[in-house]
């Protein structure tokens, strides 16, 4: 299995909603990431988990809350988002310098 699976593929949420994005990989990778990509821009790193511990938080607002329940799963909990948070959210995992991206969740905040 060489895939990173993300659910849902699309999500529309109101500014008062709470939702979660989910990511799963079964490649045995011990580093997992959340990236955010706005339209016509490159991906930007949000969080890095290494061996299930949060290693990097790129000064992301607290309305985004990551969680790594085990070595295969990565969640991103969303609460009180703003319309400007609408973007493609990409999960990734890496081993030996090779980063593999999931198909992403297209998030729209209304």
Partner 1 sequence: QKEVEQNSGPLSVPEGAIASLNCTYSDRGSQSFFWYRQYSGKSPELIMFIYSNGDKEDGRFTAQLNKASQYVSLLIRDSQPSDSATYLCAVPISGGYNKLIFGAGTRLAVHP
* CB-nearer residue toward partner 1: 12 or 15: 12
* CB-nearer residue toward partner 1: 55 or 82: 55
Stretch that binds partner 1, among 20-28, 42-50, 62-70, 71-79 (CB under 8 A): 42-50
Stretch that binds partner 1, among 15-23, 40-48, 67-75, 77-85 (CB under 8 A): 40-48
d(CA 61, CA 100): 25
Please state the closest distance from residue 95 (CB atom) to partner 1, in A.
Answer: 9
d(CA 19, CA 77): 6
- Residue showing tokens 């990097």: 56
Angle (CA) 81-33-94 rounded to 5° is 165
d(CA 108, CA 31): 27
**List 15, 54, 56, 110, residue binding partner 1 (CB under 8 A):** 56
* CB-nearer residue toward partner 1: 14 or 44: 44
* CB-nearer residue toward partner 1: 60 or 101: 101
Q: Are 11 and 110 in contact (CB under 8 A)?
A: no
Q: Find out whether the peptide bond into 8 is cis, omega within 30 degrees of 0.
A: yes
Residues forming the site for partner 1 (CB under 8 A): 31, 33, 41-45, 48, 50, 55-56, 88, 90, 94, 97-104, 106
């Amino acid at each position: 299995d060489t895939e990173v699976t993300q659910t849902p593929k699309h999500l529309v949420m109101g500014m008062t909603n709470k939702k979660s994005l989910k990511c799963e990989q079964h490649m045995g990778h011990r580093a997992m990431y959340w990236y955010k990509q706005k339209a016509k821009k490159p991906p930007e790193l949000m969080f890095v988990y290494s061996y299930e511990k949060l290693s990097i938080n790129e000064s992301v607002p607290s309305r985004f809350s990551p969680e790594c329940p085990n070595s295969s799963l990565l969640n991103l909990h969303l609460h009180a988002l703003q319309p400007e948070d609408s973007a493609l959210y990409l999960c990734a995992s890496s081993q030996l310098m090779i980063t593999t991206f999931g198909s992403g969740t297209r998030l729209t905040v209304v």
